Amino acid sequence: MRGVILQSPGDVRVADRPDPKIEQPTDAIIRLSATCVCGSDLWPYRGAEDHGPMVPMGHEYVGVVEEVGNEVTTIKPGQFVVGSFWACDNTCEICRAGYQAYCVNRTLMGMIGTQAELARIPLADGTLVATPGTPDAELIPSLLAASDVLGTGWFAAVAAEAGPGKTVAVVGDGAVGLLGVLAAKQLGAERIIAMSRHESRQQLAREFGATDIVTERGDEGVARVKELTGGLGAHSVIEAVGTQQSIQQAIGATRPGGHLGFVGYTFDAAIPGAELFNAGIHVHGGPAPVRRFLPELIDLIWNRQIDPGKVFDLHLPLEDAAEGYRAMDERRAIKTLLKP
Ligand SMILES: [Zn+2]
Ligand SMILES: [Zn+2]
List pLDDT tens digits, range 288-338: 999 999 999 999 999 999 999 999 999 999 999 999 999 999 999 999 999
**Averaged pLDDT, 151-165:** 98
**What does the pLDDT average to over 45-65?**
90
181-to-176, 209, 247, 268, 287 alpha-carbon distances in Å: 9, 6, 17, 26, 18
Which strand ranges, in their side-by-side order, compose the sheet holding 55-56? Answer: 11-16, 2-8, 55-56
Lowest mean pLDDT among 161-165, 230-234, 242-246, 267-271: 267-271
Average pLDDT over residues 182-193: 98
Taking the CB of residue 152, how many other CB atoms lie within 10 A of it? 35
Cα angle, residue 56 at apex, residues 54 and 61 outer, rounded to 5°? 165
What pLDDT, in 10s, does the model give residues 109-151?
999 999 999 999 999 999 999 999 999 999 999 999 999 999 9
Residue 54's pLDDT band, with cuts at 50, 70 and 90, is confident
Q: Which residues of 236-257 are buried (b: 16+ CB within 10 A; e: fewer)?
A: bbbbbbbeeebbbbbbbbbbee
Statement: residue 15 has pLDDT above 80: yes
- What are the residues facing 193 on neighbouring strands? 169, 212
Q: Which ligand number lies closest to the CA of residue 103?
A: 2
- CA gyration radius for the chain? 19
Distance from residue 130's CA to the centre of ligand 1 (Å): 20
Q: What is the pLDDT of residue 20?
A: 98
Give the separation between CA 16 and CA 14, rounded to whole angstroms: 7
pLDDT at residue 50 in the model: 75
**Residues paired with 12 in a beta bridge:** 6
pLDDT at residue 210 is higher than 80: yes
Predicted TM-score of the model (pTM): 0.96
Question: Ligand 1 centroid vs 167 CA: distance in angstroms?
Answer: 27
pLDDT at 9 over 80: yes
CA 36 to ligand 1 centroid distance, Å: 8
Ligand lying closest to the C-alpha of residue 93:
2
From the CA of 207, how far away is ligand 1's center (Å)? 22
How confident is the prediction for the chain on average, in pLDDT?
96
The per-residue pLDDT for 53 is 76
Ligand approaching nearest to the C-alpha of 95: 2
